[in-house]
Structure 1
Amino acid sequence: MTSTTRTGTVRDPGWRWAVGVIVGLHLLGWGALLLLVLPSGVSYSTSGPAALAVGLSAYALGLRHAFDADHIAAIDNTTRRFVDRGRPASTVGLWFSLGHSSVVFLLCLALVVGIGALGRAVSDEESGLHQFTGVWGPMVSSIFLVVIAVINVWSLRRRDTDDAAPGGLMWRLLGRFEAAVDRPTRMYGVGFVFGFGFDTATEIGLLALAGTATLGAVPWWAVLTLPILFAAGMSLLDTVQGAVMRRAYQWSPAGERSRLFSYSALMTWISAAVAIAIAGVQLSALAVDEFGWHGLFAWIGGADLETLGFWLTGVLLAIWAAVFVASRRDLLPNRTS
């Protein structure tokens, strides 16, 4: 249940549940791995240190992929829309990461129960599975990013001009999309679809194959600690990112209403522009790979989205910090008067 403070800010108790889920994933993943490794004596066992190394690798993959640019843009823009609608938004990042991690878990489960054909398809980049997911993942994530960016800009312009919602088929479709993703739990489905890009799923799947060979005598279900550790790492940072951006969007500079709108508009335009840019990079790379288009498409599609994710996080936080500092200075008494 949510409530509203006197200032109109939505009080969202969902963060307590989010913390519980994240702590639970860490305890389950690391606890299960250590309980399987420690009885054999990590210092003397040949498989113990290797098992811990594989577990650390899975956890590190989760942390790194939380900074994927498309993750950040999806969580950021969705959080922006929920805050604008007065809806709880503290668990947007968590639900997205849980959906994404579910694909990884299901893949690892299929691998460890002995579906050999799937293992070969995951390992072979020329397989039909890779060909399908290589198109499906970027296409769906790009469409989502463009649509959520358009909805945010549309909402901003409506608020500034007090216009009614425009008519037409496109706007009705946007309205249906907005209604379909109207609460944080719906981001589970979005994250699940994003996961079909198989970039992260492939890496953790290969880790599962390596883990099966490394752990040897350990029961097959022990390998499932790897996707759990992956989920723990990604959910931790995705949730923190969503919570920080929720705070940034809910906070407003001191002063006149127009200043609030200027700050909100700045953050909205930046988030929307980044989302569209990321979609452009993904679609350009897809055009190069599938249709052989080069030139401008090759230049745009060659952008490093992993590095962009770190830059994007830093830029958004820097803007919020700069506006916050400037606003605090305005609140200080004028000592020279």
Structure 2
Amino acid sequence: MTQRLDARVRDPGGRGAVVVIVALHLLGWGLLLLAVVPSGITYASTGPTAVAVGLSAYALGLRHAFDADHIAAIDNTTRRFVDRGRPASTVGLWFSLGHSSVVLLLCLALVVGIGALGRAVTDDDSTLHEVTGVWGPLVSSVFLLLVAAVNIRSLRRSGGSAGGPVWRIVSRVEHVVDRPTRMYAVGFAFGFGFDTATEIGLLALAGSASLGAVPWWAVLTLPILFAAGMSLLDTVQGAVMRRAYTWSPDEGSRVVSYGVLMTGISAAVAVFIALVQLSSVAYERWGWQGPFAWLGGADLETLGFWLTGVLLVTWGAAFVMTRRRIV
């Protein structure tokens, strides 16, 4: 409990996160409105204006932040850091920066003329999609299962059980991601799965622009706007979850009940999202039927909105219940 209270008062990363997010917005929108638009640059010979394309890129970033695997990864990692008394306010920011770096690098490849890459990304039947369609969900699922195991381990430890050999392995894995900056690598690894419409949509916009007479800096304005939108909402999600986990009731028994409830939900969410992703791979790539087809057919982007709502409602309900001494 002392660690959790310490995490609430000593977490200076919030101001730095605000600075980074504001800088991304100023850079992206500044380039678009003060350089691209006045220069008369259009991203396509026919179609929407440069401002409309920029808004689309930004909206895709906002939308991508609600992917269920984003929310589960940020939620579970934030929960673990708070439990260990470590800074957690920038978990979402570092994750989103790592994720958006993949998109930026791909757009940079399109700018320098690697057109085959753009076609491979937007073609569902390409070899790149075959590989990343397995790699992306596999990496994110393994991470979610590991971080869920860490949270379950914390429940066992609070109950007086340290666990056996499996938990000792999990403990070693936990040291790999032991600070918010390490989430950059996690987000980068998550970014190599191109099954989400938001990423493909942004790359399609950049690819179309790179085929025309559009300067490289104008094309790269799009992934910057994408990163600005995604980093904003991912950081807000992490901050909200940190607030949920650092808050605690006043009495000892209710502290335990609240902690068990939130840790259990966090772990269950991670396991469920991992199962959905693995089932999707089994169904779409290998044709497995039955429960794999049912789970694999879930839309992770839409599921992310529901997941956000469930987490917020649960936290609010727990707050009200503990205040009334029900929990």
TM-score scaled to structure 2, two decimals? 0.92
In structure 1, what is the Cα distance between the partners aligned to 2:30 and 2:53? 15
Q: How does 1:52-63 map to 2 (within 5 A)?
A: 52-63=51-62
Show the 5 A alignment for 1:113-262: 113-159=112-158, 161-163=159-161, 165-168=162-165, 170-198=166-194, 199=196, 200-213=198-211, 216-255=212-251, 257-262=252-257
Rounded to whole Å, the distance in 2 between the matches of 1:228 and 1:58 is: 9
Q: Which amino acid aligns with 1:156?
A: L
Find the aligned partners of 1:24 and 1:120 in 2 and give their Cα distance: 32
Amino acid paired to 2:208: A
Amino acid at match of 1:188: Y
Say if 1:6 and 1:287 are closer, same or farther in 2 by CA, change over 3 A: closer
CA deviation profile, 1:78-99 (whole Å, cap 9, x unmatched):
0000000000000000000000
Decide whether the 8 Å contact of 1:101 with 1:192 is kept in 2.
yes
Contact 1:151/1:174 (8 A) holds in 2: yes
Instruction: Answer yes or no: is the 8 Å Cα contact 1:152–1:268 preserved in 2.
Output: yes
CA-to-aligned-CA distance 1:8-28 (integer Å, 9 cap, x gap)? 744211000000000000000
Q: Is the 8 A contact 1:211 1:223 kept in 2?
A: yes
Task: Tell me the amino acid that sits aligned with residue 22 of structure 2.
Answer: V
SS of 2:37's partner is: helix
Aligned-residue offset at 1:245: 0.5
Instruction: Go from structure 1 to structure 2 and tell me whether the alpha carbon gap of 1:32 and 1:283 turns closer, same or farther (over 3 Å shift).
Output: same
Q: CA deviation at 1:115?
A: 0.8
Query: What is the match of residue 317 of structure 2?
Result: 322
Q: Is the 8 A contact 1:41 1:48 kept in 2?
A: no
2:27 matched to 1:31?
no
Q: CA deviation at 1:210?
A: 2.3
- Offset, 1:220: 2.0
RMSD value, Cα: 2.3
User: Percentage identity across aligned positions?
Assistant: 72
Distance 2:94 2:36 in 1: 31
Secondary structure in 2 matching 1:27: helix
User: How far, CA to CA, are the matches of 1:281 and 1:246 in structure 2?
Assistant: 25
Structure 1 length normalisation: TM-score?
0.89
Q: Which runs of 4+ in 1 moved over 6 A?
A: 4-8
1:267 paired residue among 252, 262, 267: 262
Structure 2 Cα separation of the partners of residues 276 and 158 of structure 1: 20
CA–CA distance in structure 2, aligned partners of residues 183 and 100 of structure 1: 17
What is the deviation of 1:212?
A: 3.1
